[in-house]
Structure 1
Amino acid sequence: MSSPLSPVTLIRNVRVPYGGADHAVDIAVEGDTITAVPPADRSAASTATAPGSYDGRGLLALPGLVNAHAHIDKSWWGLPWQSYGGEGTTEGRIRHERARRDEIGMPSVEITRRVLDQFVAHGTTALRTHVDVDLGLGLRGIEVVREALAAYGGALTAQIVAFPQDGVLRRPGVLALLEQAAREGVDHIGGLDPATIDRDPVGQIDALVGLSAEHGVGIDIHLHDPAELGAFQIELVLDRVERLGLEGRVTIAHGFAVAQLADSRRRDLLARMGEAGVTMTTVAPLRLPQLPLHELDEHGVAFAFGTDGVRDLWSPYGTGDLLGIAWQYARASSLVHDDDLRRVVEIATGAGAPFAGLPANELRVGDRADIVLIDAENPMDSLVRTPPREAVIAGGRLLVG
């Protein structure tokens, strides 16, 4: 067995699902890139142990899981149990978190590393994480996250969203912090419920798209507001994307409104989102309608899954298993047919890679060597059982196995 972070140059005897059928292959890797995927060589000579060789033992190989909506800076993983407190509203959770985060040492490099370790153990090789930016923290959370990620030596791919959890406009100075974060290299700036948090949807959205246009960063905005109120804010975003030429730069996180609209209204909105390249992420909330898989695909609206917070002051739940979130989405959406289950796995893995700034991944020559090995019959079986991840390779380096 190779040591953690050791380079892998050949993964022998794995099954890769191409075109709905499994193919027994070897996967050759050079650096962080797949260079060849020949049929599996099961000859005696091929089974000899060599440096950089990993025996896949006939396991199912999938592209690494992509966690497109995480909050790795604000967990209490590894600390004594933290009882749920405060009020259950968005405002209540914000206040409770602000009151207690310093007491438990949030954000912390050590805790953030623990969360990342959980992600990796469950097969995540790339992520997009929202990191709190506010007047109390400044940009310290971003520094913490970067330091925690550095321990993976570039094997783990991550994009950072500077996230104004406490609002953008209602706290003077936050917008300046977002601009500073944009100048200092974050991938995206965030927003939060422009209508109900800042109570100024036009003002918040104009401020965010202005920074995006000036600094070339993306926008990833939390939008919890329901039905027509949420749709109205998405339309405000679309107006500005179209006017300023920001196609392909905006993600709507949560976007509960989309699943709550009347059918014709939802389809019209999705068609416009697809044309503008506006993407979505979901954490598959159990108590709300799910984003409609077939309609999103029909209108070209790319979407991906995220774990949201994991054991944080908003909720004690979360294991860091992105495949478990995909399972939750499929089950709550009543998806049962093979094509749909396979599609959900694609979204959770290679199709989600652009949400972390990577090309889509199908484990073909030229793709990044982000690979998870699972003891499963096929992708559908891996989704409905979510078995343990037997090996995790990120950027051509063995992280688990």
Structure 2
Amino acid sequence: MADLRITNVRPWGGEPADLVVTDGVLTDVAPRVPAGTGSPAEAAEPGSSAVLDGGGLLALPGFVNAHAHVDKSWWGAPWVSWGGEATTQGRIAHERAERDALGIPGHDSTVAVLRELLRHGTTAVRTHVDVDLGVGLRGIETVRAAAAELDGALALELVAFPQDGVLRRPGVLDLLRAAARAGVDHVGGIDPASIDRDPVAQVEALVDLAATEGVGIDLHLHDPGELGAFQCELLADRVRRAGLGGRVTVSHGFALGDVGPLGPGSVGAARQEALLDDLAAAGIAWTTVAPVRTVPLPWRQMVERGIALGLGTDGIRDLWSPYGDGDLLRVALGFARLHGLRTDDDLVAAVRLATSGGAAFVGRPQHDLVVGAPGDVVLLDAENVADALVRAPVRRHVVARGRVVVRDGEPTV
């Protein structure tokens, strides 16, 4: 990639600085000095680099969407009224009945939702893609083709997701193995107890597949309370035995909040702390979309234990829900409100979960405005990070691996 100099920006709301991106990597972050006095951003020979004048804007790392479903969206298509029953099983059935008529997964709608993510400053995404007896691996092919149309502006990690269950539909496990061999990064699972009715068998099948095929696991777990907590303990045990620490994620995981002191019918802080210790020892990560009407997660204790915690959009305007616009900054705001965050430090922490804290979910050792990190930068007009969170202003410019992919608020790809 061509070099890029980003001049006069305020990384994380700090003092003005110049950033240098070389071959897609941040190679210098230096205090801003007057033009013509030899700042690192001016060190390249004239004409050797592109220059983006930041104009004093706030600079953040690119947003990381740690949990998306870009294959399901009908973004850009005519409005579809929500239907189905408001249960996991009811939504699965409704989606299976209606998706073909809407052309889901569809190339154009997937391109449209990826472009919307980009417009809001997301530069890396872990997306679940349905793999089942109806669509086979077609969704994976669709998402890859859509990403290619954006010419690499978004970095994607793919999860082969068995929305309709792993074991209750014979042949799905074989499809997951085929997806792993076709190059997906992770295999998914969903509610081993309430969907497949056999938590031990589903968890052990996924762990065996991940270990033999060299992929990760990202398990949707909606089951609440002690039923969900049992499945977390089961997963932690099997992950430790297989040596898969650092390669397994629980998505949603409402049970973790339920068993704590604020949860309905909870058994108290000690139960929650023991579960957190178990998850941390197993090296299991966590993602949340911070949905309303759920119990807050013990996010501080998770961070203290080194449990990776990422934020995601979940589905965006799809057959599960009419909501969502792809803006991770708004998701971070929802997280802050759900958890009662008010101080500047806590508001900044919420934004870090949506940016630098998401590195592990897209296969990066670091993702921040530091030397050696990918050259992913978002510029927006805000006084500071807390101000950016509560107002969610337009992302003025977005840079992905040193390439300007959003200029003046609109994608260039």
Scaled by the length of structure 1, what TM-score is found?
A: 0.95
CA distance in 2, matches of 1:166, 1:42: 59
1:273-292 equivalence runs, <5 A = 273-292=279-298
| Maintained 8 Å contact 1:218/1:249 | yes
Equivalent residue for 1:211? 209
- The Cα of 1:340 is off from its aligned counterpart by 1.3
C-alpha contact 1:67 1:127 (8 A) present in aligned 2: yes
Paired amino acid for 2:33? D
Q: Tell me the CA shift for residue 7 of structure 1.
A: 4.7
Aligned to 2:195: 197
Aligned to 1:103: 101
1:27 counterpart = 2:19: yes
Distance 2:365 2:149 in 1: 23
Report the CA distance between 1:23 and its aligned residue. 2.1
Render the CA deviation track for 1:276-317: whole Å, top value 9, x for unaligned: 110000000101112122111122211100000000001100
User: Which residue, 81, 84, 91 being the options, matches 1:83?
Assistant: 81
Task: Give SS of 1:22's match.
Answer: coil
CA contact (8 A) 2:308 2:360 kept: no
* Contact map agreement 1:155 1:396 (CA 8 A) in 2: no
Displacement, 1:60? 0.7
What RMSD, in angstroms, separates the aligned Cα atoms of the two structures? 1.6
Bigger mean CA offset, 303-312 vs 44-53: 44-53
* Equivalent-residue separation in structure 1 for 2:225 and 2:3 (angstroms): 48
- Residues of 2 paired with 1:247 and 1:359: CA distance? 15
Query: Secondary structure of 1:149's partner?
Result: helix
Tell me which residue corresponds to 2:31.
39
CA distance in 2, matches of 1:178, 1:65: 28
- The one-letter amino acid paired with 1:38 is A
Listed one character per residue, the Cα deviations across residues 4-30 of structure 1 (whole Å, up to 9, x for unaligned) are xx955100100013xxx6121110111
Aligned twin of 2:253 = 255
Matched, 1:308 2:302: no
Aligned: 1:326 with 2:324: no
Mapped to 2, the partners of 1:7 and 1:327 lie a distance apart of 35
How far residue 359 of structure 1 moved from its aligned partner, in angstroms, is: 2.1
CA apart distance, 1:338:
1.8
Q: What does the per-residue CA deviation read over 1:125-174, in whole Å, with 9 as the maximum and x for residues that have no partner? A: 00100000000100000000011111233332110000000001000000
Greater relative contact order, per chain length (Cα 8 Å cut-off, separation 6+)? 1
Do the aligned partners of 1:182 and 1:217 also contact (CA within 8 Å) in 2? yes
Matched, 1:15 2:10: yes
> Is the partner of 1:23 in helix, strand or coil?
coil
AA matched with 1:268: A
User: Matches of 2:281 and 2:73 in 1, distance apart?
Assistant: 37
Larger mean Cα displacement after TM superposition, 198-207 or 354-363: 354-363
Report which stretch shifted further, 59-68 or 338-347. 338-347
> Is the 8 Å Cα contact of residues 212 and 218 (structure 1) preserved in structure 2?
yes
Preserved CA contact (<8 Å) 1:376 1:382: yes
Superposition deviation, residue 344 in structure 1:
1.1
Residue in structure 1 matched with residue 410 of structure 2 by the alignment? none
Q: 2: CA distance between counterparts of 1:228 and 1:105?
A: 39
1:386 partnered with 2:373: no
Query: What does the per-residue CA deviation read over 1:347-371, in whole Å, with 9 as the maximum and x for residues that have no partner?
Result: 1101212211112222111111011
| 1:130 partner SS | strand
> Secondary structure at 1:264's aligned position in 2?
helix
Is 1:133 paired with 2:131? yes
Any gaps of 5 or more consecutive residues in structure 2? 260-267, 408-413
Q: 1:400 to 1:106 in 2, by over 3 A?
A: same
Mapped contact 2:237–2:282 kept (Cα < 8 A): no
The one-letter code sitting in structure 1 at the alignment partner of 2:6 is I
Normalization by structure 2: what TM-score? Answer: 0.92
Q: Any conservation in 2 of the 1:120–1:400 contact (CA below 8 Å)?
A: yes
Is 2:346 the counterpart of 1:349? no
Secondary structure of 2:136's match? coil
Is the Cα–Cα contact under 8 Å of residues 127 and 356 in structure 1 kept in the other structure?
Answer: yes
Q: 1:385 & 1:277 partners in 2: Cα distance? A: 35
State the partner residue of 1:3: none
* CA shift digits 1:356-397 (9 cap, x unpaired): 111222211111101101111111111111111111111111
Deviations 1:68-97 (A, max 9, x none): 000000011111110011111111101111
* Contact 1:34/1:363 (8 A) holds in 2: yes
Q: Which residue identity does 2:207 align to in structure 1?
A: V
Aligned positions of 1:109-258 closer than 5 A: 109-258=107-256
Q: Which moved more, 1:8-17 or 1:300-309?
A: 8-17
